[in-house]
Amino acid sequence: MITGLVRDWRYLNHEMGPYHVESPARLEVIYRMIEEEPDLANLVLIEPREAKEDEIALIHYPSYIDRLKETKGKPRVILDPDTSTCALSYETALLAVGGVLEAARAIMEKRIDNAFALVRPPGHHAEASRAMGFCLFNNVAIAARWLRQQYGLERILIIDWDLHHGNGTQHAFYREKEVLYFSTHQFPYYPGTGSWEEVGEGEGLGFTFNVPLSPGKGDADFLFIFKEILGPIVDIYQPQFILVSAGFDIYSGDPLGGMMVTGVGFAALAGLLLEMARKICDSRLLLVLEGGYSLEGLRSGVKEILFQLSGLKEPPEIEPVISALTKKELEPAFKNLRQYWLKT
Ligand SMILES: [Zn+2]
């Protein structure tokens, strides 16, 4: 497997103040880990570029793009209660989108098999018309629409395992069947969306799939959900490309979350997605960094995933065994699975 990496120190230029959890230190700890890990030295570096305005406009309104552009050079502009910009945020956000697009292009052109875009700011909360929840532009949503436009793909799967529901991504594709959005997230929790009743509308009915979860879910729970709920959907949908909103705030030690996923769990999840991608879409798999606020969680989670993507390690054996209580909690998701995917 040839694995691509988007890694550029300019992604540290965006900062939202000295006490903000979404800090440049998040990427710094990941980049240092990669530098110190000799086995990861042969990952292919993808050169990012600033995305063009018409690419951003695939998802965002021109008025919002202008609003963000106006923050250029200003030391601080407050966009929402927990999202702000500094003088370099606009360029950094363009570079984040452009890095994800270039990784997607490298995969489509078969220069690499899979990739991890280690970028910030994150994107999945960003709506068409506004910044939200530490997110400026919706990197993954733009990439999905760009893949449709550039390569004519008709079935793109977005998997979002971040602790938080990706409201921006869900809304972008709520009425479309060409992009399937599958999210696991703590619920009820920020941003409030993502109940199992949100299933898409019109043409997109059934193509939004939410698995809301109470806190405390660990490696086996996530593996179970990905195998038993996502698995059958993927088999039927046959995506041509898999994008992952990879958040590490489901890590057991994350300060914002209540989930219990470990480094081994991230490895197992990545191993499972690799297998799906290999079987169904020529291995096209692109992970994009979203949240994650434990530096140790980011360091170990990304490391384990990179070992999987590049084939350096075998996926760990984790029995996807869940408690009766969790099984009960997943009943609505299984109901949706039967209603929208397994109808006979
Ligand atoms: Zn998050």
> Is residue 117 a contact partner of residue 289, using CB atoms and an 8 Å limit?
yes
Calculate how far, in angstroms, residue 266's C-alpha sits from the geometric centre of ligand 1.
15
Single pTM value for the model: 0.98
SS3 for 4-28 is EEECCHHHHCCCCCCCCCCCHHHHH
Phi, psi of 258 (to 5 degrees): -120, 20
> CA angle 287-288-290, nearest 5°?
130
Listed in sequence order, the residues at least 6 apart from 39 whose beta carbon sits closer than 8 Å to its beta carbon are 307, 312
Calculate how far, in angstroms, residue 245's C-alpha sits from the geometric centre of ligand 1.
10
> CA angle 126-92-289, nearest 5°?
60
Helices and strands (H, E) in the chain, number of each type: 12, 10
* pLDDT, position 343: 80
Active site residue 165: no
CA nearest neighbour of 31 among 12, 48, 51, 50: 12
Calculate how far, in angstroms, residue 111's C-alpha sits from the geometric centre of ligand 1.
31
Written as one string, the DSSP assignment of 260-305 is: BB-HHHHHHHHHHHHHHHHHHSTT-EEEEE-----HHHHHHHHHHH
Calculate how far, in angstroms, residue 207's C-alpha sits from the geometric centre of ligand 1.
22
Calculate how far, in angstroms, residue 33's C-alpha sits from the geometric centre of ligand 1.
22
Calculate how far, in angstroms, residue 163's C-alpha sits from the geometric centre of ligand 1.
5
* pLDDT, position 119: 98
Q: What residue ranges define each of the domains in the chain, with the CATH number in brackets?
A: 3-340 (3.40.800.20)
β-strands 285-289, 44-45 pairing? unpaired
Listed in sequence order, the residues at least 6 apart from 237 whose beta carbon sits closer than 8 Å to its beta carbon are 155, 157, 180
Calculate how far, in angstroms, residue 202's C-alpha sits from the geometric centre of ligand 1.
28
In single-letter form, the type of residue at position 331 comes to: E
The rounded distance, in Å, linking the Cα atoms of 268 and 132 is: 30
- Residue 118 CA to chain centroid, in angstroms? 11
> Is residue 163 a contact partner of residue 252, using CB atoms and an 8 Å limit?
no
Q: What are the 10-residue block averages of pLDDT along the chain, 344 residues in total?
A: 97 97 98 97 97 98 98 98 97 98 98 98 98 98 98 98 98 98 98 98 98 98 98 98 98 97 98 98 98 98 98 96 98 98 84
* pLDDT, position 344: 61
Catalytic residue among 14, 60, 124, 125: 125
